[in-house]
Structure 1
Amino acid sequence: MDNRDIIFALDIGTRVVVGIVGIENNGKFQVLAVEQMEHESRAMFDGQVHDIDKVANVVEKIKRRLEDSLNIKLTEVCIAAAGRSLKTQFARAEKNIDEEHEITVEDINNLELEALEIAQNSIISQSGVTRYHTVGYTVSNYYLNSFPITNLKGHKGREIAVEILATFLPYDVVEGLYAAVKKAGLEVSYITLEPIAAINVAIPPEIRMLNIALVDIGAGTSDIAISKEGNIIAYSMVPYAGDEITESIATHFLTDFNTAEKIKKSTKKEIKFKDVLNIEHKITKEEVMEIIAPQVKVLAQKICEEIIKYNGKSPSAVFLVGGSSNLPNLPEEIASILNLPINRVSVRDIKSVEILDYKGKTLKGPESITPIGIAYSAMINKKKDFIKVSIDNKTIKIFNIKNPTVMDALVAINYDSKNLIVQNGEDLVIKLNGQKVVIKGEEGTPPKIYVNGSLANLKTHINDGDKITIVKGQKGQDATITAGELLKQQKGKLIFVNDSKVDKNYVIKNGDEIVIKEDLTSFVVTVNGKEVELKGKEEYLFVDVFNFIDLKLDNNKVPEMKVNGRRASYTDILKPGDNIEIEI
């Protein structure tokens, strides 16, 4: 047997470590050997390694037993990060836009990147942990002018917004797992997430387009993954699981935890045990079910609340895996709360796993789904756990849990999404003759993204060794205009800014209040066939003409007066070019 064909998978759980060795056989995963061992003491808490030496010790023992049973040398291992370590965060990003601008794909991608940054910053502020791998995100809603819309592309408006549901994995979780297996003499060849591993074997590909909640119920936590349209849209965790059920038994019967655990797991009709006072008891399975029923109901309620919180409604089906999914009446309680038919809540064990070739007895219940899933995921993916890419000559590592994109790389280096927005010049906003007027700044040159020298965008998929280059855009010139240029546009002759007259060289400033008038201080009229220039006033009445012509009036007679052929009076207002006739 060629060691290169060997797949060694480890499920490093909070209480138990399971190791599986197998090979691919006609599209199925053929199990060659299985070993499992409990931690000697609390070395793991909620899926995170707390004592590297203790975890490494258990891993090394399992590795050695598998090597001895198969007479091989194991050097590489496939692992998974616990779903309970994942952080899921809602985030919303909003942006004001020019009402004449047609929304582009780049605008939408930049908006999503900004929302992803907001989500990551929220997680950091809540947890205090500063470094995270981006696992993925899904768009919940787009908005145009505050109204929901299916697709922003091509629309125009004042404001666009997006709401996303993003998931992150702390660096420390991955680094702790790596350190523990390395100390045991192993290198990680593949890493995935426990919920993804479980889905790969528990949910057949033909039904992954459905809205399904997968719940991995372990000892300390119940981990949740929700799938929709072929993707996992959310991860969550309930800090309530099998241990709470065990503790209710221990409290009721006054036993230690291990005895209570045996009572919980017993399938016998009649169960015998001794309490801490060494008093012997004999109870039936029905009595145990009656005692734990309230806690099972609480567990079901907490799981359902979390599913609805992130899914927005009841899913089409719920699949249960993990050792505590066998709790009596748990599927019935979940079905009742979610208003689902009982056959839509299913406990998945290895009998339902069609891709498995296994004749042994160690792997049997729903607790075996995740370790099998880790091995099978490695078998079908055969890709690196991390990829290395460079951004502007800076090398970074990206968690290869999905098909990573340029956006994932930028989030990994905390790239400021504002640098990808086209920087137009500042607009000039003024009030002209009582009306608001906006003079547009010059359009900027958009930034460009290249992957290996080819033009790309935020959604371009990247591979190991890719080189990402970002060419910064150029900001457009700010809007500027002089009083003279404004006068030409408005065909005026006098300009007043903030109630003061200015000359043509004055540079208009943001917020200026401007009034443009015709220059009435000097203009020419025709009086009885001769041109006469009127000077010294902003407005002239007919009577003012007599101050500029040599004409004697008879005090006892009103002259006949006409303007442009029409009879006029002394108080008529004159305009440039008027033709005036006066007869005495």
Structure 2
Amino acid sequence: MNDNLIFSLDIGTRVVVGLVGMPEDDKLKILAVEQMEHTDRVMFDGQIHDIEKVASVACKIKEKLEKKLGISLKNVSLAAAGRSLKTKIVRIEKSIDENYIIKDRDIDNLVLSALNTAKEEISHEGYSVKYHMVGYSISSFYLDGLPITNLKDHTGREISVEIIATFLPYDVVESLYSVARKADLNVTYLTLEPIAAIGVAIMPQIRMLNIALVDIGAGTSDIAISKDGNIIAYSMVPFAGDEVTETIQQHFLTDFDTAEKIKTTSKKEIKFKDVIGIEHKISRSDVLKIIDPVVKNLSKKICDEILKYNGKSPSAVFLVGGSSNLPNIAEEIAKNLSIQPERVSVRDASSITVVEYKGKKLKGPEYITPIGIAYSSMIDRKKDFITIYFNDEKLELLNVKEMTIMDVLLKTNFDSKKLIARPGKNLSFKLNGKNIVINGEVGTPAKILKNGIVSNLKSKVENGDKIVVVSGINGKDASITIKDLKDKYSASKITVNGSIVDDDYIVKNGDDVNIVDDEEEFFVYINGDKTTLKGKEQYIFIDIFNFIDFQIPKNKIPEMILNGRKASYTDVLKKGDKIEIIV
């Protein structure tokens, strides 16, 4: 029995809830539940400040559950508060050749580049704080600046993507681990509170709808948004039920616990003493008037955050958490989002269909998250950290979602540019007045292997997988020499920008290259034979003896005839002249 037991702890700002359950026919059968308030304000806005005191409460809950069930609890499932979540919206653009057909790997590399940019930005903002990326969603793709559903097989000049990425500081995880260690518990599952809540409040079959879930606790209001079957964004507002309590505390000059009782009571007439010792008697309506501005402010902050990441009002809003019962909170949210009031619903634990509990009925929205932690643990049954080997380096990765090779690359400082085998640069020049373009080499694509098998960025990874990434090799730039052109076109003379150049000259972008036809070369006919003269701009008669093998006998002067008349050594020659040399 103990092997199947699930012990979950929901460590909230005001209350800690412990729950023990076990799987039964695809449902979570809850065996026992305990809850206890912190003795002091040891947590603020969902963040643990006093580990010792929080651990003390966790120990007491654990002991009560052990005694009630007659078992020993060794393992625990936990959730990190949404207070620590940071979300970045990033859009990046990449230029492409207008004739290039976009492939899947180009889209994957574009997304990876955007995620790396988000990671760099969040690291810069946090400086020394170490963050884990816990989730991301693609808002939209763009082709030449216009939105497009799928970039694959299209052509254009520029591709873009906008993503929403969510991060969690590693310190938050460490504080939870410290509490567990002090309670003599081994953490076997870790998730995020908004993930746990949405896991049972918005079941997969209705996630096609655009629904926002808001977990309003004491210190934070955590938000998760579903759309098209996926969770597209997580966020939070560091403002929740405690602000309402503090408003009552300041107005009536009470301690925090008294103010909390005034906030939560349903009595029409409320009696209490302030810190000075004066007794007061107020009506419930008086309290509602005092807290109304705070509730409106909280509602607006929540709605602003929903609109920021959803881009518009969702179809419905589900409220969970202890403070979702605040007076008029649902009505104010509906008003701010301009949706019908009945579409803002407080989700009670009794609405969860995947839970079976025969004991005291679980009531109220405050049980959604602890049930969600246990149910998520039951469904996933994964370790909170998994070991991956990346290029022979051992990595311990936070396992908060189904992980892909892209996630592994994001956890490392792998340069996404190494995945892209860029083609070499094209060479463009003019040849005899015509534009010539020689394409650069395509290059060798990167190779991704999982356990020796060729994979891609979307391939799923599991504990112990070995990932190897062989960087892509860029293609060589296009290049051609004058000799190459002479060989290709069987040319004997080529000019570049009007000048004769060496055969090893490398043609540059924009060069004006001309092949000089044989008919344009300088030639004459000597005793009937065509002879080409090279190396000078102008020739005189005596130059021909440098191009012919002609022996003049001693003591004889040859007779030189140029175009039928007697010639002298200094006569200027013209192309095609007919020359006779008679001895």
Identify the TM-score tier after normalising by the shorter chain. 0.7 to 0.9
CA contact (8 A) 2:21 2:30 kept: yes
Measured against aligned partners, the alpha-carbon deviations of 1:365-391 in whole angstroms (never above 9, x if no partner) come to 111111111112212222222221111
What is the match of residue 155 of structure 2? 156
What is the match of residue 518 of structure 1? 516
CA contact (8 A) 1:202 1:369 kept: yes
Structure 2 counterpart of 1:15, which letter? R
SS for the counterpart of 1:377 is: helix
CA contact (8 A) 1:46 1:85 kept: no
TM-score of the two chains, using structure 2 as the length reference: 0.86
What is the match of residue 230 of structure 1? 229
Alignment of 1:33 with 2:29, yes or no, is no
Structure 2 counterpart of 1:78, which letter? S
What is the match of residue 212 of structure 1? 211
What is the match of residue 383 of structure 2? 384
SS for the counterpart of 2:72 is: coil
* Paired-residue identity, %: 58
How much does 1:308 deviate? Answer: 0.3
CA contact (8 A) 1:192 1:401 kept: yes
How much does 1:178 deviate? Answer: 1.8
Structure 2 counterpart of 1:35, which letter? E
CA contact (8 A) 2:12 2:217 kept: no
Residues 515 and 76 from structure 1, CA distance in 2 versus in 1: closer, same or farther, beyond 3 angstroms?
same
What is the match of residue 550 of structure 1? 564
How much does 1:176 deviate? Answer: 2.1
Cα distance in 2, alignment partners of residues 432 and 40 from structure 1: 87
What is the aligned residue count?
548
How much does 1:523 deviate? Answer: 3.9
Cα distance in 2, alignment partners of residues 150 and 59 from structure 1: 48
Structure 1 counterpart of 2:63, which letter? R
What are the ranges of 5 or more consecutive residues in structure 2 without an aligned counterpart?
Answer: 540-560, 567-573, 578-583
Structure 1 counterpart of 2:345, which letter? S
Cα distance in 1, alignment partners of residues 87 and 497 from structure 2: 54
What is the match of residue 49 of structure 1? 48
Greater mean alpha carbon deviation, residues 111-120 or residues 435-444: 435-444
Alignment of 1:282 with 2:296, yes or no, is no
CA contact (8 A) 1:93 1:163 kept: yes
What are the ranges of 5 or more consecutive residues in structure 1 without an aligned counterpart?
Answer: 541-546, 553-573, 579-584
Cα distance in 2, alignment partners of residues 550 and 37 from structure 1: 126
What is the match of residue 188 of structure 1? 187
What is the match of residue 442 of structure 1? 441
How much does 1:407 deviate? Answer: 0.5
Structure 1 counterpart of 2:485, which letter? L
SS for the counterpart of 2:33 is: strand
SS for the counterpart of 2:3 is: helix
What is the match of residue 272 of structure 1? 271
CA contact (8 A) 2:46 2:220 kept: no
Cα distance in 2, alignment partners of residues 13 and 394 from structure 1: 37
CA contact (8 A) 2:141 2:159 kept: yes
Matches within 5 A, 1:159-558: 159-361=158-360, 363-430=362-429, 437-487=436-486, 494-497=493-496, 500-508=499-507, 510-511=508-509, 513-516=511-514, 518=516, 522-523=521-522, 549-550=563-564
Cα distance in 1, alignment partners of residues 530 and 355 from structure 2: 109
Cα distance in 1, alignment partners of residues 242 and 562 from structure 2: 109
CA contact (8 A) 2:46 2:219 kept: no
Residues 439 and 41 from structure 1, CA distance in 2 versus in 1: closer, same or farther, beyond 3 angstroms?
farther
How much does 1:501 deviate? Answer: 2.7
SS for the counterpart of 1:90 is: strand
SS for the counterpart of 2:417 is: helix
SS for the counterpart of 1:408 is: helix
Residues 238 and 550 from structure 1, CA distance in 2 versus in 1: closer, same or farther, beyond 3 angstroms?
same
SS for the counterpart of 1:3 is: coil
How much does 1:435 deviate? Answer: 7.3
How much does 1:61 deviate? Answer: 2.1
Give the CA RMSD over aligned residues.
3.0
Cα distance in 2, alignment partners of residues 94 and 50 from structure 1: 42
Residues 265 and 311 from structure 1, CA distance in 2 versus in 1: closer, same or farther, beyond 3 angstroms?
same
Measured against aligned partners, the alpha-carbon deviations of 1:228-266 in whole angstroms (never above 9, x if no partner) come to 122111111112211221222223323332222111111
How much does 1:65 deviate? Answer: 1.9
